[in-house]
Chain A
Amino acid sequence: MGNDVFVITEHMDGKFSDVSFEMVGKAKELAPALGGQTVAVVLGSGLSANVFASDSTIYVDDANLAQFNPEAYGKVIEALVKEKSPRLVMFGWTATGMDLAAWLSARTGKPCVAYAKDLCIENNTLIVNSQVYGGKMIAEVAPEGDMAIVAVLAGSFPAEAGQGSTTATQAASPVALDGLKIKFVEAIKPAGGDVDITAQTKLVSIGRGIGGKENVELAEELAEKLGATVSASRPVVDAGWLPRTRQVGKSGLKVKPKLYLMLGISGAPEHLEGMKSAELIIAVNTDKKAPIFNVAHYGATADLFEVAEAMLELL
């Protein structure tokens, strides 16, 4: 078996996502300790793939891979992994990587670790720290065997270390991609019309703690007084209390406002991905152990309604 580190990269509209560079950067730390090389793996069509600081880049160019298709991508990655026997395969724990990591584990019989926040090599053993239970606990895992599949949370490492200009080696698909059961039909961009929360300098962001649609008004009042816009974590949007255009986080939008005032958001990793670079983060949550207090600059363990109403009195 080999000792290389494979990084399965991701892209949309011809642009590689940050997590791809983040993983390549991390892989460059790990590969020498394992006695292997960092290999960026690109699946797509018509891409400029000479963008990574990897030792090498494999670029499988096929029209069937132009858009993400879990079945086609899975088949190609499986073939590459079987042929090259890497020591470690890194995916993003993202909308695309999540479809593939566990599938590849079942397919190859190799262990899979999800929610990875950090990886290191100690005495030639791979150690993974995973952020489970919504970020409230870290599980330290040493996956056994000659190959491990690790799915990494976006935003865990700096992206710069993975950026480079390694010339990609283009290859045809190692497997036939006809007769697929999954067909990409079309990509639908979000309808405009609502405010663009990524363009706002101040956001009042509400989470599950807001309790119900009838309470959104309080957040809106506070936002208005602060010259801010209301955004939300995923549960609020899933519950239909605010439109999807207001969602911050992994499946929503990435924001970087000057002020991010959080009411009733515990700070699950999925949410942190979308807002942790905000300049000033203030969090109000009733749970003093909420992970958000590890990220926020200021925090208060308090009832969000009482604090919001008291703020309204002062503004």
Chain B
Amino acid sequence: MKIAVPIKFVPDLVEELTIDPNGTALDTSWLRLIINEFDDHAVEQAILLKERGGGEVTVVAAEAEGVDDFLYTAAAKGADHLIKLTGDFGSGMNSHAAARALADLLKDSKPDLILTGVQAHNDLDGAVGPLLAELLDMPYVGYVAGVSSTNDKAIARKEYPGGIIAEMEIKLPAVLGIQAAEQPPRYVAYNRIRQVMGTSKIEERTITALDLSGGVTASRMFQPESSQRATILEGSPEEVADQMVGILKELGML
């Protein structure tokens, strides 16, 4: 079984986000990028499937700071092929453009299963998975937490609110949007990653032109204003705790 995992890097929300001088996008000059956590789960799920049923895992990422390290880490976990999409992404990559570039790449390698994160917090024009599925004429099921697979079909466990799970049987090839792998993404020791850096190769593919159509562009970006803003409890942790306990007592909760 051939499994492809397209992943992307997204702004780290732990960092402070600022808006660029045009007021339409994030200021990227100091932006720290990290793996989209759902994509990290997609990689884990792919490795789990390979461990259980054999096969080859290819991880594909668009060029960004930190992507090489992530790809080598994926190889250390068990990924067989690493592909980096390079090109001039200055005009911005949206999900539609990413899906077209990926469809172009994957239509020849013909994976049986494509696993990708169900969403990313910057998917303004929708998630990549369903777009890619349509472009490749494959079925798509998202919000998946758990996959098993035989030669020509996959069983996906799709999550609904309230912990309800719908089991879906899907004819391969197919695209699945991963919400969570069956286990948290595994840890690999750095010396193992370093070993892999010597033996694995990141294959680069150049994207000549991005087709952004169908995506949308923000005409303005701003921080949400809220009519309600929390009353901020100031002071040392002890003082904060004291105020909290006071509030709970006052409201009869203690």
B160 and A142 contact, CB distance less than 8 A: no
Given that A141-B219, A143-B216 are known contacts, is A136 also in contact with B179, CB under 8 Å in the complex?
no
A113 and B216 contact, CB distance less than 8 A: yes
Whether, in the assembled complex, B96 has its beta carbon less than 8 Å from a beta carbon of chain A, the answer is yes
B232 and A299 contact, CB distance less than 8 A: yes
B143 and A181 contact, CB distance less than 8 A: no
Given that A189-B164, A294-B230 are known contacts, is A136 also in contact with B126, CB under 8 Å in the complex?
no
Whether, in the assembled complex, A254 has its beta carbon less than 8 Å from a beta carbon of chain B, the answer is yes
Against B, the Cβ 8 Å flags (1 = close, 0 = not) of A271-285 are 000000000111110
Q: Which residue of chain A lies nearest to B166 when distances are taken between CB atoms in the complex?
A: A187
Given that A95-B158, A105-B131, A240-B183 are known contacts, is A183 also in contact with B216, CB under 8 Å in the complex?
no
B242 and A95 contact, CB distance less than 8 A: no
Per the bound structure, the CA–CA distance linking A282 and B232 in Å amounts to: 10
State the main secondary structure of chain A at its contact with B. mixed
Whether, in the assembled complex, B163 has its beta carbon less than 8 Å from a beta carbon of chain A, the answer is yes
Q: Which residue of chain B lies nearest to A283 when distances are taken between CB atoms in the complex?
A: B230
Per the bound structure, the CA–CA distance linking A252 and B160 in Å amounts to: 8
Whether, in the assembled complex, B188 has its beta carbon less than 8 Å from a beta carbon of chain A, the answer is no
Most chain A CB inside 10 Å of its own CB: which residue of B157, B160, B226: B160
Most chain B CB inside 10 Å of its own CB: which residue of A67, A69, A70, A138: A70
A265-315 contacts to B, CB under 8 A, are 266, 268, 280-284, 287, 289, 291-303, 306-311, 313-315
Given that A299-B233, A314-B242 are known contacts, is A252 also in contact with B163, CB under 8 Å in the complex?
yes
Q: Which residue of chain B lies nearest to A133 when distances are taken between CB atoms in the complex?
A: B121
* Total A-B pairs, Cβ < 8 A: 280
Most chain B CB inside 10 Å of its own CB: which residue of A12, A186, A251: A251
Given that A106-B134, A141-B218, A311-B245 are known contacts, is A300 also in contact with B232, CB under 8 Å in the complex?
yes
Cβ distance A272 to chain B, nearest Cβ, rounded Å: 11
Per the bound structure, the CA–CA distance linking A105 and B125 in Å amounts to: 9
A102 and B253 contact, CB distance less than 8 A: no
Whether, in the assembled complex, B159 has its beta carbon less than 8 Å from a beta carbon of chain A, the answer is yes
A236-263 contacts to B, CB under 8 A, are 238-240, 244-245, 247, 250-254, 258-259, 261
With a cutoff of 8 Å between Cβ atoms, the chain A residues found around residue B122 in the complex are: 132-133
State the main secondary structure of chain B at its contact with A. mixed
B149-207 contacts to A, CB under 8 A, are 155, 157-171, 174, 177, 179-180, 183-184
Whether, in the assembled complex, B4 has its beta carbon less than 8 Å from a beta carbon of chain A, the answer is no
B241 and A307 contact, CB distance less than 8 A: yes
Whether, in the assembled complex, A63 has its beta carbon less than 8 Å from a beta carbon of chain B, the answer is no
B205-254 contacts to A, CB under 8 A, are 213-224, 226, 228-234, 237-238, 240-245, 247-248, 251, 253-254
Given that A289-B16, A294-B224 are known contacts, is A102 also in contact with B254, CB under 8 Å in the complex?
no
Per the bound structure, the CA–CA distance linking A107 and B243 in Å amounts to: 55
B140 and A299 contact, CB distance less than 8 A: no
Which of B13, B171, B240 touches A300 (beta carbons < 8 Å)? B240
Q: Which residue of chain B lies nearest to A101 when distances are taken between CB atoms in the complex?
A: B126
A112-149 contacts to B, CB under 8 A, are 112-115, 130-143, 149
A282 and B244 contact, CB distance less than 8 A: yes
Whether, in the assembled complex, B74 has its beta carbon less than 8 Å from a beta carbon of chain A, the answer is no
Which of A67, A109, A297, A315 touches B231 (beta carbons < 8 Å)? A297
Cβ distance A44 to chain B, nearest Cβ, rounded Å: 14
- B-side interface residues, number (CB < 8 Å): 88
A140-188 contacts to B, CB under 8 A, are 140-143, 149, 151, 181-188
With a cutoff of 8 Å between Cβ atoms, the chain A residues found around residue B166 in the complex are: 67-68, 184-188
Whether, in the assembled complex, A111 has its beta carbon less than 8 Å from a beta carbon of chain B, the answer is yes
A28-42 contacts to B, CB under 8 A, are none
B229 and A294 contact, CB distance less than 8 A: yes
10 contacts between A and B (CB under 8 A): A113-B124, A137-B224, A141-B124, A183-B169, A189-B163, A251-B159, A259-B248, A283-B230, A287-B14, A313-B241
Give 8 closest A-B pairs by Cβ, nearest first. Answer: A102-B126, A310-B241, A306-B237, A299-B230, A294-B226, A190-B163, A106-B134, A103-B130
Per the bound structure, the CA–CA distance linking A238 and B248 in Å amounts to: 31
Whether, in the assembled complex, B77 has its beta carbon less than 8 Å from a beta carbon of chain A, the answer is no
A103 and B215 contact, CB distance less than 8 A: no
Cβ distance B22 to chain A, nearest Cβ, rounded Å: 13
Q: Which residue of chain A lies nearest to B103 when distances are taken between CB atoms in the complex?
A: A106
B11 and A253 contact, CB distance less than 8 A: no
17 further interface pairs, Cβ-Cβ under 8 Å (given A67-B166, A105-B126, A301-B232): A98-B119, A102-B128, A105-B125, A112-B126, A112-B216, A114-B127, A136-B223, A137-B19, A137-B26, A139-B218, A139-B221, A140-B218, A140-B219, A141-B217, A181-B171, A182-B169, A294-B228
